[in-house]
Chain A
Amino acid sequence: MTTLTGEATGAQNSGEQDAGTRNSGFDDAFVELQQATVTYGGGERAVHALAETSLRMGTGDFVALVGPSGCGKSTILKLVSGLIRASTGLVFVAGREVGATPVRVGMAFQNPTLLPWMTIRDNVMLPLKIVPPFRAQYRSKRKTEFRDRADALLAQVGLAGFGDKHPWQLSGGMMQRASLCRALIHDPQLLMLDEPFGALDQFTREELWSVMQNLWMTRRPTVILVTHDLKESAYLANRICVMRARPGRIIEDRAVPFARPRTIEMTYQPDFVAMTQHLRDAIFAKTVQEAA
């Protein structure tokens, strides 16, 4: 069942690959992996974190990567955000090879990684201090425009009035909300979420799904979400890529048809349950086959 979608197969065949300046051929393809592989180390001890993988994402798309540990989910995230380079193959973002054009990237992880010596507001404003064009204006707008911007975003995730607190005064769920704000404050074109809700309890997690959906619908960044939670992937994403380990690769790419805004009630509907059941089978079947 090594299906790629027609779209992804099309991308593989879509012609010339002169790096750097090549347009991806589809104007709406914001992220594109072309037979990208990632290998750590060399010789016999080489680890194939990602086997030849192709993936296309349109602008403002929301793709979830699901699968067992070590299947290369986070590797794709790091490839697209330019933190690591593909060993072979190509990675395009915004029509050019990754790193060639400055793309604003936001990231959030399972661990909120807020800076304990700063207030929540200063933590949220950190990207504005680093990323152009905000960087140049940081000193002058820190106490006015940027501050209002951070407060508005905090209010949107339910943290109004918490700007002056320090991270250690907040609960895990609240810190994760703040971490999402930090990932979004600089209006990123790309939002990378690496199991951001993984360490939270079920109720907080479901609440944050709704917060995340709301953020995505109002701002429409292109999102890649890495998760272990199938329900989460079906609730949030437009598309789900099921991945398999050793070597890491995408074994199935499925569209999620449910209308937005999605609600927790919908996750108990038969078609939603059927979807998660199917994803589960896809992952589980492969594992059995592997064991045989």
Chain B
Amino acid sequence: MSTELKHRIASAALIIGFFLLWEFLCFAFKISSIVLPRPSEILVTLVERMPAIWPHAAQTLYETMIGFALGVAIGVVIGVVVGSSKLAYDVAYPLLIGFSSIPKIAVVPIFVLWFGAGTVPAVLTAIILCIFPVVVNVATGLATTEPELEDVMRSLRATKLDILTNVGLPRTMPYFFASLKIAITQAFVGTVLAETVAGNLGIGNFMLIASSNFDVPLVFAGLLILAVMGVGLYVVFSLIEMRVTGWARRKELTVA
């Protein structure tokens, strides 16, 4: 049995063990399901109430994906501009830091003020949460191109575009995909945040209503859905990353 397989089995065992321990503790200390429902209760609720939950989950996923796609696109453009020019880097960085340090929950009411409750604030919140990690990673990848490699390219009379497409962008791919994994989870945070503050649909809104009805198992069912979607998308981007940027993890490849 390879070490990799062992590690996988161990991590699966840890997850199962976590839920079993949870179940056991709730049972042993007779914790009321209005405080902390047992995993089995949550699962039953999830299955029984699926028809009611599903539209909300779909809405959240939809908003997250749109926000993520737009956020990444904007982030790449800003990252390429900022990363390929020292001037742009120095000029734009303070403003970017300023934007990124604003707690994002504070801007949701402004989006609601402008666009009303619903889909638009959720997408916008997802976008602004996605942008920063992408910008920073893409800019870093581009800015750390070896100067000697740039000399080689410039001595060949390569244009800026040649250098960007042949050296800069491929080099940046590992940084970019690392940022995608952060961005997708951030997008979820943004969407659910906006839905909770000012939504009429979506898991965030759904959980808010469920908790105001003291339907705690249903709240946890919403949480479980979010976890599953989040992990699912993380895995998808990890797989894409592995395919596209295998060269950057050559140590693993040569050892294996």
Contact = CB atoms under 8 A, between A and B. Distances in A.
Given A129-B166, A131-B157, A116 B151 contact: no
Contact of A111 (B146, B171, B245, B247): B146
A113 B149 contact: yes
A107 B151 contact: yes
Interface stretch (A26-34, A63-71, A76-84, A223-231): A76-84
A106 B173 CA distance: 27
B156 A78 contact: no
A109 B148 contact: yes
B248 interface: yes
Interface residues of A, number: 25
B209 interface: no
Contact of A113 (B148, B166, B248, B254): B148
B155 A83 contact: yes
A115 B250 contact: no
Contact of A130 (B156, B170, B247): B156
B152 interface: yes
Interface residues of B, number: 22
Contacts, number: 57
Contacts of A182: 152
B156 A168 contact: no
Given A115-B167, A117-B170, A126-B166, A131 B156 contact: yes
A166 interface: yes
Nearest to A128: B156
Interface string A114-150: 0111000000001101110000000000000000000
B247 A166 contact: yes
B149 A130 contact: no
B97 interface: no
Contacts of A127: 156
Interface string B160-184: 0010001100110100000000000
Specify which of B152, B158, B247 lies most central, judged by the most chain A CB atoms within 10 Å of its CB: B152
Contact of A81 (B155, B171, B247, B250): B155
Interface in A93-114: 102, 105-107, 109, 111, 113
Nearest to B153: A130
A168 B250 contact: yes
Contacts of B155: 81-83, 105-107, 192
B154 interface: yes
Contacts of A88: none
A83 B156 contact: no
A94 B95 CA distance: 48
A256 to B, nearest CB: 26
State the 4 A-B residue pairs at the shortest beta-carbon distance, nearest first. Answer: A105-B155, A117-B247, A168-B250, A81-B155
Interface of B: 146, 148-149, 151-158, 162, 166-167, 170-171, 173, 245, 247-248, 250, 254
12 contacts: A83-B151, A105-B155, A109-B151, A113-B148, A115-B149, A117-B173, A117-B247, A130-B156, A130-B157, A130-B162, A130-B166, A168-B247
